[in-house]
Structure 1
Amino acid sequence: MAVLPEGTPCWADAMFGDPEGAKAFYGQVLGWTFGESSTEYGNYTQAYSDGKAVAAIVPPMPGQSEDEPVGSAWCLYLASPDAATTAEKIRGHGGEVLMGPMAVGEFGSMVIAKDPAGVVFGVWQAGTHEGFEKQAAPGAYTWAEIVTRDGAAADGFFPAVFPYAVQRMVAEQADYKIFNVDEQPVLGRMQAGPDDLPPRAPNYVSVYFAVEDCDAAVARVTELGGKLHFGPMDSPFGRFAAVGDPQGAAFGVIDLGKTSGETPVMVAE
């Protein structure tokens, strides 16, 4: 697999206070299986769909008190040819580097950062681990969008750090933009209204995983103790819903084969 172009989503992982519970949940909702925990790297455990790496789960950091709940959330990593250079760009454009740049053995180098409005994301410079081995198919990552109350901050930050060309969706009731790499859409940016995010919820990156049947996936989520945040809803891109797992990590599920309506008009910014 070729290393993905700079700025392209290349990996996703999440930290869980109950890793075994997370395995059971995502195994039933997305059909994932799991590899052996890597004790050398904090019991980092990869998830697989059809034998191909699609994500990973992480237990709490060593030394974290069992009395302190882990705030579970999916972290999306964006590809970089040089994590240290990207970290400098992040700082130079008003973002904050939370971790790294840090080499992860021969696998690659990582950075965890925030945009000026607090959106957490990762940066990955590939070594032997080049990222998703499967995409845009049931059980695998298919899309992500920055959900933020401060769309202007995201618009100024992300295209300055990564080589994004920006398009705006022509829609009366939505402030939505697409970030493109080499004319390919790779990431969305949604301006969140007062009803889109609870008052205490942070701005974040919503990661979508493809499923064979959106309604059936939502039913499994709720049966297993997760939450339905909105949907299911039909769209030109597929039938989708926003959900949360029992440990609080939000994500999206989408049936890419069930599309409805006309594709929105996009114009260059």
Structure 2
Amino acid sequence: MAAPPEGTPCWADAMFTDVEGAKRFYGDVLGWTFAEASAGSGDYTEARADGRAVAAVVPPMPGQEGTSQWCLYFAATDAAATAARIRDHGGELLMEPMRIGDLGTMCLARDPGGVVFGLWQAGTHEGFGAVAEPGAYCWAEVFTREPEKSDAFFPAVFSYRSERLEDGADFRVYDLGERGVLGRTRMTDDLPPGTPPYINVYFTVADCDEAVVRATDRGGVLRFGPTDTPFGRFAAIGDPQGADFSVIDLTTTTGGTPTTADVE
């Protein structure tokens, strides 16, 4: 399988103080199984859905303990060149491009509004082994209190086009070519006070309501939903260690697809 085009979401991981607890939670909620931890890579543990790589969990490095959060990685053909564009457009590098053996090269960064994300230049590890299937990644949205900064930054770094939905909401879709690859929404007071800006990752499930029950029974917190949309029935959840994510049943849709305007 060829590496995805630059700017395509290609991987997701999260640091958890209680990695075994995270494995139990996501194994029960999303049906994940887990590979053997890689001691040489900080006990980085790959999560799998139907045998294919879909995400990873890892313990925090010393000094990075705190609330967990999912990190989304974007494909880069040249991580050093993309890192330079991040700097040029007001972003901050949290980790310079670093080669991970023959797997690839990673980089961590933050947009001018505080949204943390990663870059991944593929080597032998090309990224998601499955998307839009039960247990696998399917979508993500930038949640920010300063949307104008993200709207200037991400299209400049990844050559996205930006389209605004015509329903009055402050929501945009970033397109790569002819395909929407990332959403951007303004954070509201519905989120817990002090919630930092972040990228909300959506994982596919066969039944949204059943996934919510499994999550809340195992210590998760329902943030929003379940609710029907033209794209699927979804719910936003906080896991027991504070990492926010969403689940979506792509087969249950309601209404027509919203129209967009202001292609940039």
Alignment TM-score, normalising by the size of structure 2: 0.97
Cα-to-partner distance string for 1:17-58 (whole Å, 9 max, x where unaligned): 000000000000000000000011001000000000000001
Residue type at the aligned position of 1:208: Y
Query: Secondary structure at the residue paired with 1:234?
Result: strand
Query: Which among 138, 145, 149 is matched to residue 142 of structure 1?
Result: 138
User: Which segments of structure 1 move beyond 3 Å, counting only runs of 4 or more?
Assistant: none
Unaligned runs of 5+ in 2: none
Alignment TM-score, normalising by the size of structure 1: 0.96
Spell out the pairing of 1:28-67 with structure 2 (5 A cutoff).
Answer: 28-61=28-61, 63-64=62-63
Report the Cα distance in structure 1 between the residues aligned to 2:50 and 2:16, rounded to whole angstroms: 23
Q: CA deviation at 1:197?
A: 2.9
Report the Cα distance in structure 2 between the residues aligned to 1:89 and 1:129, rounded to whole angstroms: 24
Corresponding residue number in structure 2 for 1:247: 241
Spell out the pairing of 1:198-237 with structure 2 (5 A cutoff).
Answer: 198-237=192-231
Corresponding residue number in structure 1 for 2:10: 10
Spell out the pairing of 1:64-213 with structure 2 (5 A cutoff).
Answer: 64=63, 69-172=65-168, 174-193=169-188, 195-213=189-207
Report the Cα distance in structure 1 between the residues aligned to 2:92 and 2:83, rounded to whole angstroms: 9
Q: CA deviation at 1:69?
A: 4.5
Q: CA deviation at 1:198?
A: 2.7
Q: CA deviation at 1:166?
A: 1.4
Q: CA deviation at 1:262?
A: 1.2
Task: Name the % identity.
Answer: 60
Report the Cα distance in structure 1 between the residues aligned to 2:226 and 2:212, rounded to whole angstroms: 8
The CA RMSD measured in Å over matched residues stands at 1.0
Report the Cα distance in structure 2 between the residues aligned to 1:100 and 1:22, rounded to whole angstroms: 28
Report the Cα distance in structure 2 between the residues aligned to 1:37 and 1:221, rounded to whole angstroms: 24
Unaligned runs of 5+ in 1: none
Report the Cα distance in structure 1 between the residues aligned to 2:224 and 2:164, rounded to whole angstroms: 23
Q: CA deviation at 1:71?
A: 1.9
Query: Secondary structure at the residue paired with 1:225?
Result: coil
Aligned residue pair count: 263
Residue type at the aligned position of 2:182: L
Residue type at the aligned position of 2:31: G
